């Protein structure tokens, strides 16, 4: 269970990007966050594992308040949160297996990391997951030899290697062509079910969001303005989420918009 309470994020002295935001994610569900660029979707996800430091508020994952953790405990907490990125964020010059195993870096000893002597259980799981997403034959290839869809599969496997309690995906399909994009979305949905894993996806493609998610959250200018089943999202609400700035918000955002 992920509970976000009164979350505020302000960069420097500017207006807040996230304004007093509350969100509860329970059980295994695939939740999509939609909203136009600059709505704060990416900042929200990055606050959850504190790649971005929240200004105020609390984020609790299964009983741990993430916002209050010091460096070492934060690393332990991050192991429980998997993340998939828009640009895949693989280390290009490492092999697929090394990239996949880097999801275990928070668990294994430094010596094992340097010498690449991974525990047998990790290797077995890596092969299982790679087999599951269809990249096992590339284990010894360099990450930059793979196509976009294959690279994102590596990214997904890396995140799953952490045995996460929740999976965050920041526009995982935005760099992919429509067909591959759909494959990755299907994969994320199926994996969420198989592993009983809550998944939060930032996504631009509303059609895909409606097709694959159990729940859709619409954000605009740092606030959640829609939160319901995909079927409930109609044209009027779409307009509100993606339309121009309403007058009372316009003053508040000022230069940030």
Partner 1 sequence: MSTPTTWRKPPFIQSPALRWLFILSVAAYVIGTIATLPIDWERTSEGFARAGRIFSGAFPPSFDRSGLMISGFMESLKIAILATTLGMILSVPLAFMAARNVSPKPVYFLGRGIFILARSFHPVIVAIIFVKAVGFGPLAGALTLTIYSIGFVAKLLAERIEEIDFGQVEAIRSAGAPFLSTMVYAILPQIMPRLVGLGIYQLDSNLRASAVVGIVGAGGIGATLANAFGRYDYDFALAITMVIVGAILISEAVSGVIRKRMT
Partner 2 sequence: MTTDRAQDWARFTPAERLRRYLVMLAATVVVVWALSSIDVIWEWVWDAPIQLADLFARMVPPDPTNLPSILEATWQTINIATIATMLAILLSLPVAYISAQNTTPNRACLWIGRFILVSSRSVNTIIWALLFVAIFGPGIIAGIIAIMFRSIGFLGKLLGEAIEEIDHAPIEALEACGASRFKTVIYGIVPQVMPAFFAVSILRWDINLRESTVLGLVGAGGIGIILQGAIDTFQWQEVSMVLITILALVISGEVISSTLRKKLL
CA distance 210 to 243: 19
Question: Which among partner 2, partner 1, none contacts residue 124 (Cβ within 5 to 8 A by kind)?
Answer: partner 1
Region from 16-24, 90-98, 193-201, 228-236 binding partner 1, contact rule CB under 8 A = 90-98
Beta strands 223-228 and 56-61 are unpaired
- The total number of residues written for the chain in this structure: 257
The residue within the footprint of partner 2, chosen from 5, 10, 79, 163 (CB under 8 A), is 79
Minimum CB distance to partner 1, residue 195 (Å): 17
Residues 115, 86, 190, 52: is their CA dihedral positive or negative? Answer: positive
Q: Are 162 and 80 in contact (CB under 8 A)?
A: yes
Distance CA 8, CA 23 (A): 12
Of 4, 27, 8, 5, nearest in space to 18 by CA: 8
36 lies in the site for partner 1, by CB under 8 A: no
If contact means CB under 5 to 8 A according to the sort of partner, which of partner 1, partner 2, none does residue 151 touch? Answer: none
Among positions 47-66, residues that touch partner 2 (CB under 8 A) are 49, 51
- Of these, 4, 83, 135, 167, which contacts partner 2 (CB under 8 A)? 83
C-alpha–C-alpha distance, residues 145 and 141, integer Å: 7
The verdict on 120 binding partner 1 (CB under 8 A) reads yes
Instruction: Please tell me whether residue 105 binds partner 1 under the rule CB under 8 A.
Output: no
Could you list the residues that contact partner 2 (CB under 8 A)?
49, 51, 75-79, 81-83, 85, 87, 89-94, 98, 102-106, 110, 113-114, 155, 158-159, 162
């Amino acid at each position: 269970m992920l509970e976000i309470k009164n979350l505020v994020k302000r960069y420097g002295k500017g207006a807040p990007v996230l304004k007093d935001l509350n969100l509860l994610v329970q059980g295994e569900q695939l939740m999509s966050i939609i909203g136009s660029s600059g709505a704060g979707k990416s900042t929200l996800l990055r606050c959850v594992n504190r790649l971005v430091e929240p200004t105020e508020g609390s984020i609790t994952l299964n009983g741990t308040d993430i916002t209050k953790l010091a460096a070492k405990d934060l690393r332990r907490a991050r192991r429980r949160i998997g993340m998939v990125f828009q640009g895949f964020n693989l280390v290009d010059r490492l092999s697929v297996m090394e990239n996949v195993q880097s999801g275990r870096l928070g668990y294994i000893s430094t010596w094992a990391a340097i010498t690449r002597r991974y525990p047998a259980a990790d290797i077995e799981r890596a092969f299982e997951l790679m087999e599951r997403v269809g990249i096992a034959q590339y284990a010894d290839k360099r990450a930059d030899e793979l196509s976009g869809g294959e690279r994102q599969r590596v990214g997904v496997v890396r995140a799953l290697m952490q045995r996460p309690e929740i999976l965050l995906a920041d526009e995982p399909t935005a760099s992919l062509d429509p067909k591959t994009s759909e494959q990755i979305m299907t994969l994320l949905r199926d994996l969420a079910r198989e592993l009983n894993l809550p998944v939060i996806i930032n996504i631009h493609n509303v059609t895909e969001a409606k097709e694959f998610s159990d729940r859709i959250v619409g954000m605009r200018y740092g606030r959640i303005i829609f939160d319901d089943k995909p079927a409930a999202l109609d044209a009027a609400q779409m307009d509100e989420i993606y339309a121009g700035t309403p007058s009372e918000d316009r003053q508040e955002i000022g230069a940030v918009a």
